[in-house]
Amino acid sequence: MKYKSQRVAYWFFALSMLLLSLQIIYGFIMGFAHMGYDGLHSIIPFNTARAVHTNLLVVWLLSGFMGAAYYIIPEESENELVSVKLAYIQLISLAAVGVTAIVGYHFNYWEGRKFLEIPRPLDWLVVLNVLTFLGIILATLYKGKKRTTTALVLTMGLVFAALLYLPGMIWFDNQTMDSFFRWWVVHLWVEGVWELIMGGILAFLLIKITGVDREVIEKWLYVIVGLTFISGILGTGHHYYYIGVGKIWLIVGGIFSALEPLAFLAMALFAVAMYRKGEKKHPNKMALNWTLGTSIVSFVGAGLLGLAHTLPQVNMYTHGTLVTAMHGHLAFWGAYGMIVFSIISYTMPNLTGRKFFDSTTGQLAFWLSNIGMLGMTTAFGVAGVAQVYLERKVGIEFGEVQTEIQVHFLILVLCATMFTSGIALFIYEFIKYGRPTEEALAPSPMKANVISPVI
């Protein structure tokens, strides 16, 4: 680590890992409920488990992105964070708002709008929190010596993500209007501005790990984020097929969302090409695994599996079935879960000074979590496709179909156990690293560059 204030990132990553662990627990509750074992129904009914599971996902990923920004922005702008104290206050308030929301879900304190269940009064605290975060990042960037493309793309993604949260806070009497603007938040986040955040982190990691010239990497970063917005903004239309708006969205949404995989394909080709072009001298093999992994798994999960059911003719039957859960799991894991794991793997040796660059535990964590998640995706896919044919095509009643496909949830839970083992090992490694130390701090940014140009 070159700047003392970068150590703030560690605590955001720690919060991220804690919330991920909780998210997995609630995932198991739902998996068992789908198998017919909902023993916790009276305390944690399915809708509570579901709201907690998806909201924890959003908060642990945001915490990971914030940690990434607190690490990357000082290094890219060559300046300490303007206020470390404020960053810690922001961390505590993020955890407090998240925990309050999640506890509230157990007591019917929520707004039943998928992914946006946080009640509006708490939304204002989220806004305040994010404004504090952006204030620190923007002021650091403004006072910094440099404004690199990587830092700007990452910051742009974070600023847009904050702005796009606002349409979701407006109340509408009409369900169609409500849904229309809910997707401005959810879709334009995950298939828009979050890809900028992912692209920014990916570019930073590739510059550090491969040693390829920054200008080359940042040029392709522009192309990737350009493809993301060109396809993703109008691709929002794939959520508008059947919510009470016109047929024009069937055409626009169909065409542009079919182009969305291009951004992920470009990201995968970009990462692999930069790795091949690079020096292959960087010792941090785990960071390399996760970085190449995220670019490839995101293409499969977000790109290909999204394409599989995005055309209106297919989506007419798959919309609102477990096919969506199939795509959702691998997409979120590949694109956003794994990029957070990549930046953690890269930064931990730099923050703590302990160089566990390549360990059996780390390798096992990578493979178990990825194979487990692929298995879960397959189980969701088989259950989803069976549901589509039995319920939507043949017309068998919903409950009867659910009983028929219960067995696939046994496979899902087994694969989820494998996934969880991988995550547990990753968290074990995280804890083993210990906390950031003074010794990890390079004497001066200039000297650090001389001693270790690639780390």
Partner 1 sequence: MLSKSQAKIFFLGGTVVTFAIFLALSWTSLSHEVPKRTHEENLSQQVIKGKVLWEKNNCMGCHTIMGEGAYYAPELTKVYDRRGEGFINAVLTSKIPWQPRGRQMVAYGFSKEDAANLTAFFKWIGETDLNGFPAKPDLKK
Residues 310-349 that bind partner 1 (CB under 8 A): 316-317, 319-322, 324-325
Nearest in space to 238 (alpha carbons), one of 190, 183, 189: 183
Burial class of 446 by CB neighbour count within 10 A (0 to 12, 13 to 18, 19+): exposed
Q: Which of 17, 33, 62, 423 binds partner 1 (CB under 8 A)?
A: 33
What is the longest distance spanned by two Cα atoms in the chain? 70
Find the binding residues for partner 1 in span 243-272 (CB under 8 A): 243-250, 252, 256
Stretch that binds partner 1, among 67-75, 92-100, 217-225, 363-371 (CB under 8 A): 217-225
Question: What's the chain's Rg over C-alpha atoms?
Answer: 22
Q: Which of 22, 45, 78, 411 binds partner 1 (CB under 8 A)?
A: 45
Q: Which of 24, 233, 273, 414 binds partner 1 (CB under 8 A)?
A: 233
Smallest gap from Cβ 376 to partner 1, in A, equals 15
Smallest gap from Cβ 75 to partner 1, in A, equals 21
Beta-strand runs (E) in 334-394: none
Closest to partner 1 by CB, 407 vs 427, is 407
CA distance 311 to 316: 9
Closest to partner 1 by CB, 176 vs 444, is 176
Smallest gap from Cβ 162 to partner 1, in A, equals 17
Is residue 38 close enough to count as binding partner 1 by CB under 8 A? yes
Distances (CA, A) of 106 to 176, 349, 410: 27, 38, 26
Stretch that binds partner 1, among 216-224, 296-304, 407-415, 445-453 (CB under 8 A): 216-224
Both structure tokens of 300: 């499969």
DSSP 244: S
Q: Which of 5, 14, 94, 117 binds partner 1 (CB under 8 A)?
A: 117
Closest to partner 1 by CB, 254 vs 293, is 254
Q: Which of 88, 403, 428, 434 binds partner 1 (CB under 8 A)?
A: 403
Smallest gap from Cβ 90 to partner 1, in A, equals 28
Smallest gap from Cβ 319 to partner 1, in A, equals 4
* Dihedral (CA of 30, 36, 39, 44) sign: positive
Smallest gap from Cβ 72 to partner 1, in A, equals 19
DSSP 106: T
CA distance 206 to 8: 22
Closest to partner 1 by CB, 244 vs 434, is 244
Closest to partner 1 by CB, 75 vs 391, is 391
Smallest gap from Cβ 358 to partner 1, in A, equals 34
Find the binding residues for partner 1 in span 118-177 (CB under 8 A): 149, 173-177
DSSP 319: T
Cβ-contact 265, 196 below 8 angstroms: no
Closest to partner 1 by CB, 117 vs 123, is 117
CA distance 148 to 129: 25
Cβ-contact 33, 49 below 8 angstroms: yes
CA distance 417 to 224: 35
Is residue 10 close enough to count as binding partner 1 by CB under 8 A? no
Q: ∠ CA(250), CA(158), CA(97), 5° rounding?
A: 100
Closest to partner 1 by CB, 323 vs 343, is 323
287, 423, 387, 40 alpha-carbon torsion, rounded to 10°: -160
Is residue 400 close enough to count as binding partner 1 by CB under 8 A? yes
